[in-house]
Structure 1
Amino acid sequence: MGNFVSKLTDAANDDHEIYQYRFRSAHRQEFPKRKLPADQLSSTSSSTRSSRASSRAASRPKFLGDVKTPVLAVFLHRIRNDKKTGGLQLVVYADIDSIRPRVQVFVSNLTDSSKWKLCADASVLNAHKAVAYLKWGRNCQDYKISTELVTGRFAAHPAVQVKLEWPKVPSSVRSIADWFYKFVPGAAFMLGFSEKMDKNPSRQARVIVALTSPRTCDVVVKLPDMILYEKAMRLPLPLPVGPRIPASELQPPIWNVFAEAPSAVLENLKARCSVSHNKITTFNDVQFNYTMPANCYHILAQDCSSDLKFLVMMRNAEEGLNLKAINIKLGSHEIDMHPVNGQVKLLVDGVESPTTNVSYISAGASLWIHSEKQGLVLVAPAYGIDKLYFDGYTFRIQVALWMAGKMCGICGKYDAECEEEYRMPNGYLAKDAVSFGHSWILEEKPCTGACKLRHSFVKLEKTVQLAGVESKCYSTEPVLRCMKGCSATKTTPVTVGFHCLPADSATSLTDKQTKFDQKSEDMQDTVEAHIACSCENEDCSA
């Protein structure tokens, strides 16, 4: 217990500033209270309060049933063995079309002798604040719990504050809550929170979450007798952090900031991959530079589940420098997009489409291709592609949320794991971006395609001393080599792992029984990978 307390104390000393910040409501910042001269305060305060009260009463009826009909009414009847009847009545009122939406729920006892009721009310007051309360007991007057959600700023970061108050609750509920409360410090410690003893309102709790970056947040929890806090808590997926729109600029209904928040978060969680010139950004937002070898298709993005809904490949185009061509296999369709004379030509199942004002819709509307800006857009949500854009220079793809963890290719797995992004088709990690890109090249049969490169295990040209023994070494992962009968005209260095054997061993690269990719890695070295070939005597039987 002593170590536990000391650790919490040390952490509190290190991060003492976080819980001292004050949460500032966005609504209060946009519409600050105006200060009046002292001689006007007394004369205007009473009239202001009365006018505000009357305007609120006129604009927001206390009971929605006065202006709205119920959207739901449920009656539950019960007949006991002694022939006495009873039951409950549930009525729901809603005003969701208003600029300040509101929902009320009432549950009451059907027997005349009981005055027990439950009343719930939830509403959005403005673009940055929503409130709700729950009352129950005799005419909904005995007990009450209320909550308030407010958006704003905390330590200069966008934040949300949730406040919970329980002015009156049954003793049984309070006893259960007190029992759980004993475990809060230990649970918070296990989750990495720090603790500071403090005296706060006795029947109130506040939780403040500040988004410090798309992947991290600061959390402060203020309880009656303590504060729990943690800085830079990692988020499993990135959340949107963008410019804040003032409430005065929001179009009615002004509460869209709440209504659209879930869709905004979900939209941001969808994975996007892009290729622009030689810069690639994966689904997990890892960026690297990679120059594609000539004439060879690379697997950019593929559904690697058993369904294999789609496959997107890319290669350098023959048209000019930095131009690309893509091939898409989507269900039973095969789609080609490649630049011709400054425009993108489209072929669907071998049939060419017009180069301007393209609009192709497949049978059943599961695939839609149309022109946008200087390129083409493909939409196929049923296959997992929300949007694919290509203009010859730039490629962008956004896949559906349910494709998370099912992807593979140069664009990555879409699994929020950034440390192991260079995953090759064999499941191993490449040493660098070049080896990673090379591993996703799609080989073609000799003499039938434009790609003259293949993946081959190679022998290190030099012998090495390993544990005092002269050894020959073979790569544990394939390296790009020109096909048989072709010679390399351009190479690039790559780092690969090697498995070494005694120099007098009879093992060679032609030994089919030796699977070098399953051998242990004894050392690493740099070798030259072929990226362009000249094929005057290509062996078509290879």
Structure 2
Amino acid sequence: MPVKAEYRQRGSVQYEFSTELLQTPIQLVKVTNLQTQIEAVLSHIVANNVERVHDDAPLRFWEFIQLLRMAKLEDLQMVWRQHKTNPAYRQWILDTLPSVGTPVALRFIIQRFEAAELSTVEVAQALIASVHMVTANHEAIQLFDSLRVNPKIKTNPVLNEIVLLGYGTMVSKYCADKPVCPVELVKPIHTLLAESVSKGETWQMISILKVLSNAGHPMSLKPITKVLPIHGTAATSLPTRVHAEAIMALRNIAKKEPRLVQEMALQLYMDKALHPELRMLACIVIFETRPAVGLVTSLANLLKMEENLQFHAGSSSQKSRSSASSFEAIYNKNKFLGTENAPAFAVILQAVRTDGKLQGYQITGYADKTNARLQLILAALAADNNWRLCADGVLLSKHKATAKIAWGQACKQYDLTVTAETGLLGPSPAARLRMTWNQLPVVFKRYAKKAYDYIPAYVLESFIRSRDNNSVDQLSFTVAATSERTLDLIFKTPTYITVLKKNLRRAILVQVPNCLLFFFHSAECSSIRDTVTTFNNRKYKNEMPQYCYQILAQDCSEEMKFMVLLRKDDNVHNHINVKIADIDIDLYLRDTNVVVKVNGREVPTSHLPYQHPTAKIEIRPNKDGISVYAPSLGLHEVYFDKNSWKIKVADWIKGQTCGLCGKADGEIRQEYRTSNGRVTKNAVSFAHSWVLPAENCRDTTGNMKDLTRTEFEFNSFLYCLDLLVCADAAVIPQDFYNYSVDMRETTQAHLACSCTPQCA
């Protein structure tokens, strides 16, 4: 309570910041004779800044800039004619002109270039500086546009790129404070992009995309979309470098149109068939759109389930940051589990010395089931010994686990982080063990060096395929099964990266875990009495409409080497069609005998085996049926008899197949993946999704029309319903429940939908 007394009114106690600008005052130049003053200041600067910088050099330089800003084009030309042959004067003039920042100075630079009075280096330096210093107005943009079409500029790759990028930057500066930016400024660049795409000029496409990135004009979104690797468009065939630049070109546009860019970036990020680098870039763009917390959480959860090591890591440093961030988030939330949880176990090893002092160690374990975390603390029992060992392990996902080990005084002297993960390295199954550290005991490094020195040099050289630089605080070992008989081994030591490739010889017995054994053999899919066993050994009953073709197995890579189809004929017997190379192979029953047709012509059994004249494709009898062999094209064998069929694919194409037989990637939890890429738990829905569309299933010729080079895609659609946004304010139409529903699936709605401001 305030003291009871008489108080005077002194205004508010609210603090107010001063509004004046505390800057160093700049002395304005009084102009009496502009040419004379320019000459005097320039001569003073040149004379007094030869060996060492004069004390008044900054002030004189600023005075020189002010004088040149008031100069007309004729004044600049006169100064140049007087001093262009003197290197010292010439250098000061060219260094100062970009800082003048007027269209007159820019026009002067362009004229000197066209008159061949400036070297390429001088022009490049002047233009680069002018881009950032010249005021972006209509005249300046026109000057850069004239340079863009200048023949002398276009014939010089360096200057051409500087001018193009500078033009984009000038457009961005010009539109920075304008609510609507004229689309006419970027239309010429859109035309250049379309021309470069039609001509297939990769580097030109990359340069133009950088220009659009600098400009950041919202109307550039549509032209950029045409070169993005969106499924089903012609742009998917463009080089990855072009796709990368196109994605990065969205970053500046995201500042003005965050919602549109976010939707596009999400589409790219969720496409698991996309190159890992492109998906990482799409993730970067998403964060440029200032995503909501719900979306960020969903992205983090999706990252935990990511199987592709290249995407999960990108590079080793990026991988370290992503895994460390999720691990550190759990660790920092509760560094010592003992504060909230009782010990899961405790082991005490102790001894009492003759002097009565206690010696020994105590091991205590704590468990956090919610975060799949285990913590071990090893502590010395002696009262005067503060040595500790702290080990924390977290199972981040079913493919990844991270452990942090720290030891020394209070667990703060040394530390080591170990991450183990499995997944794919490109198309190959892989496993990786990585260790990073901040500080390790010297003895560790000494023994590691001794062990390395024991390996003969000729042994290392016989294995090493390539080397590269690596982080000084990182050690990792990656093994990738590139084929049934070969492994790629990648060592990342603190000095360099070593890539080894060696055959697995039959004489060497290698104990391979069952979970990895799958990847070292060809995958097999089979069916007996309509019970299908997929490549991943998952069984289900296949219910299919009669006459309509289903895709059993297909190479779903860009090369699309083969397709195996199945249908029921008039007698409800199986009919197999194999499309591979340039031929169609039909296998079906006539009475109880297997009939073979190649491109519609029957091949008698007596004429088998059949050998394709150019491709390595062979058809020959096998037990009670017929087999088709094309291992070099990924199709190891297709077997057909009166009761069953069987498909084997080569090991190198695993993970790239699709159809009723699955992806052959060893992942049974996502086995029922429909033709549009979604995962369902219903075997019937899964089987029906792989039925080929046709107007009439009985019209077998119609089913097969143009299948050889056609990809089939069945899309389901997810809609965001505005009428169901707020639970307490939703108005549901009376006929809402009468709407027909073809398919219903659960999805993470906040990836595609968002709350309205009323209920956010």
Which gives a bigger RCO, structure 1 or 2 (Cα 8 Å, sep 6+)? 1
More strand by share: 1
Which TM-score tier does this pair reach, normalised by the shorter chain? Answer: 0.3 to 0.5
**What TM-score do you get using the length of structure 2 for normalisation?**
0.29
Structure having the higher Rg: 2
TM-score (ref. length: structure 1): 0.39
